[in-house]
Structure 1
Amino acid sequence: MITPNIVGRSFGYVDPTFPNPNGKNDTSIIIYGYTPSIGLAAFAAAWFFVHLIGHTTQNLTTHSWWWMTFSTGLIFEIIGYIARSLSAEKDPYNLIYFVLQYFFIVTAPVFLAAGIYTILSALISRLGNQYSFLKPKVILGFFITSDAVSTIVQIAGACLVGVKESRREDPTTANHILLAGLAYQVFAMSIFVVLMATFQFRARRTIKEHGYQLFCFAFSVATIMVYLRTVFRLAETAEGLGGKLSTNEVYFACLEFAPIALVVLLLGIFHPGRCLGAKVRVSDEKVHRHHDMNTSAAHLRV
């Protein structure tokens, strides 16, 4: 394993086996803090591409257009890991590659999270508003807006970090901007996790009657994985450039890539369009009819 070369302060990695091309967009150091692995980047791009095909195909066959935000997130993941592959194989010093991979990999989970927020709204619509502390429209409006605002702040901070590092200037202020965006995202996501957990607890009998147990389990795990990834990003940024979390790719692989890879796998197997239907909101009449059919079936089984 290559040890970071400390230049002047706590951050300044230069790969001795990869000479700096000193091109127009090259920085004097590798901002990652390591040379990215081409194996991880290529595998991740391929993984998300396969699942993009799977999710989009199921969206089309089930007419669940509301789940297309998830496919959008997968496209962002693919672009991000392609840019990371270019960093790994072609030029790890290139600022453009770094900014592109950061922008798309950080932004992608926003679209994935939007899909997760929509799942909770769909479940509330089918199982009953009485089990939720907030209405479905409020959940969608608040959490999607929160993610959008926090992501804009994060991207602004990340771009400033890249610029400051390329100029060998102090990136502390830029890192604080990035940290503020992540802190708010973790705060909002924490509220969502509580809402999701309390809803499922209060609606546990109805969930069982509708046969949603496995789907709700997959949904819960997916939510926790997105939350774990967001907490990791917050901890990484709080530690600062040159910290252990940001300069060791194993943490990126285990706490950025792996959780999101599991999310897309779970929600591909338990596809929301197939498990919940083509529409997010259904009428009370349909909910009651579905409930009565499941109750009757349960009585027949007994």
Structure 2
Amino acid sequence: MSDRTELKEQLQIGCPAYIEGVGTSYGYIPSFGAGIAYCVLFGLSMILHTIQFTWKRQWWASVFSVGCLVEVIGWAGRTWSAKCPYNGDAFLMQICTLIIAPTFFTAGIYVILGRFIQLLGPESSIIKPKLYLWIFCTCDVISLVIQAIGGGMASGQADKIDGDTAPGTHIMVAGIVFQLFSITIFVFCAIDFINRVVRKRLLQSVNGSVIPLFAAMILSIVCIYIRSIYRTIELSQGWDGYLITHESYFIALDGAMMIVSVAVFNLLHPGWMLPSGKSDSFTMERTSVDRPDKHRGSPTHW
């Protein structure tokens, strides 16, 4: 037993090659190609987002750049693990960052939805715009703290011979289930918002440039929700579960979902498609559509 423990400790330091019959913390050797590909994709998205939010001075949109940076760090950790499959630092680096990263994307979506409510009027939502950011970001922070505590405990035990990862895993699952619950509530609020917008035909009374951004927001929410469901099931199966030990699911249901959820805002950036601040022109345009007789001929309307 002492020889196995000593071997395990030696493998976690430096960059020893894979040894047949000696398992890794992943249950496989991470794909070097996938690691490089996602580092490049998230890196490009980060650069574009940084240029876009700086150009348009939409500083709140920096959350997308920060999220991309955290994703790059996480996938760099997996790329490192592809060459050094036993290195404990590389494993801990990727597991912590890739759990945290989506929170920055959801924060951006909360702001976008709040801006839409400001533009379309209070009748478009059951919650005030600012409350979206406060309520759901608070829930995200709580879930991340729980996941970080559990992840640290579990990863520490995973590197030990016969280490007990169950307590840490249970805490991680509790954190991600709480996150899934909060995102589910947000999804229901978003569905209610969409239903109100469609039923009251609110989008017909505003500039058409926001409609593609509206679709982008929906796509991003769907991708993040799919990823959250996957991670919940994955972690609930434990460190030896089927999903967590088969990388193809992680590449498709975490990496791909996250790059779509953030890259769609490179193509349809809110800094280009939303007014900066509350838009009086939008408000007046909606007023003229809803009550054309009242403002007919008024010079202030034009």
TM-score, length-normalised on structure 2? Answer: 0.85
Question: In structure 2, what residue type is equivalent to 1:22?
Answer: L
Structure 1's 81 and 293: CA in aligned 2 closer, same or farther, altered over 3 A?
farther
Match of 1:171 among 140, 143, 165: 165
Query: Is residue 207 from structure 1 mapped to residue 203 from structure 2 by the alignment?
Result: yes
Structure 1, unmatched stretches of 5+, are 1-18, 297-302
| Aligned positions of 1:103-182 closer than 5 A | 103-167=96-160, 168-182=162-176
Give the match for residue 274 of structure 1: 272
Structure 2, unmatched stretches of 5+, are 1-7, 17-21, 293-302
TM-superposed CA distance for 1:22, in Å, is 2.1
The CA distance in 1 between the partners of 2:241 and 2:12, in whole Å, is: 27
The CA distance in 2 between the partners of 1:108 and 1:227, in whole Å, is: 14
Give the match for residue 188 of structure 1: 182
Structure 1's 23 and 107: CA in aligned 2 closer, same or farther, altered over 3 A?
closer
The CA distance in 1 between the partners of 2:107 and 2:15, in whole Å, is: 35
Match of 1:50 among 44, 55, 60: 44
Give the match for residue 8 of structure 1: none
Give the match for residue 298 of structure 2: none
Query: Is residue 84 from structure 1 mapped to residue 78 from structure 2 by the alignment?
Result: yes
Q: Describe the superposition over 1:64-123 as per-residue Cα deviations: whole angstroms up to 9, x where unpaired.
A: 11111111101101111111111112x111111111111111111111110011111110
Question: Residues 58 and 273 of structure 1 are in contact (CA less than 8 Å); yes or no, is this contact kept in structure 2?
Answer: yes
The SS at the match of 2:11 is coil
Give the match for residue 4 of structure 1: none
Structure 1's 229 and 146: CA in aligned 2 closer, same or farther, altered over 3 A?
same
Structure 1's 293 and 270: CA in aligned 2 closer, same or farther, altered over 3 A?
farther
Structure 1's 226 and 294: CA in aligned 2 closer, same or farther, altered over 3 A?
farther
- Rg larger for: 2
Give the match for residue 22 of structure 1: 11
TM-superposed CA distance for 1:23, in Å, is 4.5
Question: Residues 224 and 257 of structure 2 are in contact (CA less than 8 Å); yes or no, is this contact kept in structure 1?
Answer: yes
Give the match for residue 7 of structure 1: none
Question: Residues 20 and 93 of structure 1 are in contact (CA less than 8 Å); yes or no, is this contact kept in structure 2?
Answer: no
Structure 1's 200 and 23: CA in aligned 2 closer, same or farther, altered over 3 A?
closer
TM-superposed CA distance for 1:291, in Å, is 2.7
The SS at the match of 2:183 is helix
TM-score, length-normalised on structure 1? Answer: 0.85
The CA distance in 1 between the partners of 2:71 and 2:25, in whole Å, is: 20
Q: Describe the superposition over 1:115-154 as per-residue Cα deviations: whole angstroms up to 9, x where unpaired.
A: 0111111101111111111111111101001001101111
What do you get for the CA RMSD once the two structures are aligned? 2.3
Question: In structure 1, what residue type is equivalent to 2:129?
Answer: P
Question: In structure 2, what residue type is equivalent to 1:247?
Answer: T
TM-superposed CA distance for 1:20, in Å, is 9.4
Q: Describe the superposition over 1:167-209 as per-residue Cα deviations: whole angstroms up to 9, x where unpaired.
A: 2322111110000000000000001011111112201211233
Give the match for residue 97 of structure 1: 90
